[in-house]
Homo-oligomer: A and B are copies of this chain.
Amino acid sequence: MARHKTYDCSAGCPVSATLDVIGGKWKGLILYHLLEGTLRFGELRKRIPDVTQRMLTQHLRELEESGLVHRQVYAEVPPRVEYSLTPQGQTLRGVIAALKSWGETYLGRKTPQQAAPKRRLAAVAGR
């Protein structure tokens, strides 16, 4: 999103800024897996089965532009490209951990499907 979305409340809302950086459809997963160590392009694909190669490439590029991911190309045949987190990327560990932790609790809690709040007869109250 680095260059697409343009709500530049960049200066005012760090919360959004962070979400903008890690909020892509697959960025959270990519970062999560890279936190465990360096991975080749193909390895990332295996770990994130549903991502298309196009999206994986694109998101990796954006993460690279954001300074979170390092891309190491080896001049070999066949080609080899390894992705790893930059020092700055490593600082996301706590954030990702928080997201994961909360997500686990959330998923576990809502499993039974929380009946949709029927708003047609909205709850009314006086005061």
By CB atoms of chain B within 10 A, which of A66, A106, A107 has the most? A106
A103 within 8 A of B: yes
Q: Which residues 36-84 of A have a CB within 8 angstroms of B?
A: 50, 64-67, 71-75
How many angstroms between the C-alpha atoms of A21 and B23 in the bound complex?
Answer: 11
The A interface is mostly helix, strand or loop, or mixed, namely helix
Q: Are A124 and B73 closer than 8 Å at their CB atoms?
A: yes
Q: Are A106 and B14 closer than 8 Å at their CB atoms?
A: yes
- In-complex Cβ contact of A107 among B14, B74, B104, B107 (8 A): B14
Q: Are A100 and B14 also in contact (CB < 8 A) when A5-B25, A75-B126, A114-B67 are?
A: yes
How many copies of the shown chain assemble into the complex?
A: 2
How many angstroms between the C-alpha atoms of A123 and B102 in the bound complex?
Answer: 38
By CB atoms of chain B within 10 A, which of A15, A95, A124 has the most? A15
How many angstroms between the C-alpha atoms of A79 and B126 in the bound complex?
Answer: 12
Q: Which residues of B contact A109 (CB under 8 A)?
A: 88
Residue of chain B at shortest CB distance from A75 = B124
Q: Are A18 and B100 closer than 8 Å at their CB atoms?
A: yes
Q: Which residues of B contact A106 (CB under 8 A)?
A: 14, 17-18, 21, 88
Q: Are A32 and B13 also in contact (CB < 8 A) when A73-B123, A106-B21, A110-B67 are?
A: yes
